[in-house]
């Protein structure tokens, strides 16, 4: 299937799922100083963009050099998402999602794997490999999708004030359950593709 700029933009926006990232983003940012939250959001979106930009150009070569397949990427991404989902449901003391209390998140888990996750990596890789002559179009679509994601994350404090902490907490647990199912589905899909692949 050939994509246009608009269809690629919509596809990337659905894969990045900025609204779905809010239940993870809000509790992580709760312990970050208010004056730093905007900078942290912009920084993490920038890192995610850089990762996906690099994967768009070098992802296929990297997988080939490392003797990795898209199936292994799918299974590994599912395992990571499963760990994040479990932390969403059963938040341990001393920080959430592997971020110590009072510390700013850097790269993990906001930039990777929340925004630049395995599904996003696979999407940009497929766009670039199927229509390499339109790579500038895909870069533009990725930049626009990231800009929308950044805008949603920048408004997370306003959304939190609007709906309240109890609703955010309930949404966080609910999204954790949904993310668990998605993670398991990714693992099963990767394993199915591995075992069903022709010898």
Q: What is the pLDDT of residue 123?
A: 78
Three-state DSSP at 97 gives coil
Cβ neighbours of residue 88 under 8 Å, at least 6 residues apart?
A: 23, 24, 97, 172, 173, 175, 176, 179
Q: What is the pLDDT of residue 98?
A: 55
Q: What is the pLDDT of residue 60?
A: 76
Provide the residue range defining the domain that includes 17: 5-196
| Residue 68 backbone class (left: φ over 0; alpha: ψ -120 to 50; beta: rest) | beta
* Cα 94 to chain centroid, rounded: 23
Encoded tokens for 161: 């004030």
Domain count, the chain: 1
Q: What is the pLDDT of residue 128?
A: 84
Q: What is the pLDDT of residue 90?
A: 76
Report if pTM > 0.75: no
Which residue's structure tokens are 């004030």? 161
Encoded tokens for 167: 């609703």
CA–CA separation, 48 and 113 (whole Å): 9
Q: What is the pLDDT of residue 93?
A: 45
Q: Are 155 and 21 in contact (CB under 8 A)?
A: no
Q: What is the pLDDT of residue 42?
A: 92
Which residue's structure tokens are 């099963």? 188
How many CA within 13 A on the CB side of residue 91? 16
Tell me the pLDDT of the chain (199 aa) as tens digits.
Answer: 567 899 889 888 877 878 767 767 777 777 778 888 889 889 999 999 999 999 898 877 877 888 877 677 678 767 877 776 787 677 654 444 555 555 677 787 788 878 888 778 877 887 887 788 899 999 999 999 999 999 988 887 787 778 776 776 777 678 778 778 877 887 888 788 778 866 4
């Amino acid at each position: 299937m050939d994509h246009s700029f608009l269809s690629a933009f919509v596809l990337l926006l659905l894969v990045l799922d900025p609204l779905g990232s809010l239940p993870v983003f809000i509790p992580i940012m709760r312990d970050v100083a208010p004056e730093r939250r905007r900078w942290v959001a912009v920084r993490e979106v920038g890192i995610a963009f850089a990762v996906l930009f690099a994967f768009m150009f070098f992802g296929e070569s990297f997988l080939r050099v490392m003797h990795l397949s898209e199936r292994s990427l799918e299974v590994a991404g599912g395992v990571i998402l499963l760990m994040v989902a479990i932390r969403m449901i059963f938040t341990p003391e001393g920080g959430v999602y592997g971020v110590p209390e009072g510390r700013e998140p850097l790269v993990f888990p906001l930039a990777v794997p929340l925004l630049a996750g395995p599904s996003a990596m696979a999407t940009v890789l497929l766009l670039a490999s199927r229509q390499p002559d339109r790579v500038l179009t895909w870069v533009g679509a990725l930049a626009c999708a990231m800009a929308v994601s950044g805008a949603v994350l920048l408004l997370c404090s306003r959304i939190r004030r609007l709906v309240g902490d109890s609703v955010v907490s309930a949404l966080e647990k609910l999204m954790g359950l949904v993310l668990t199912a998605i993670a398991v589905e990714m693992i099963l899909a990767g394993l199915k593709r591995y075992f069903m692949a022709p010898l």
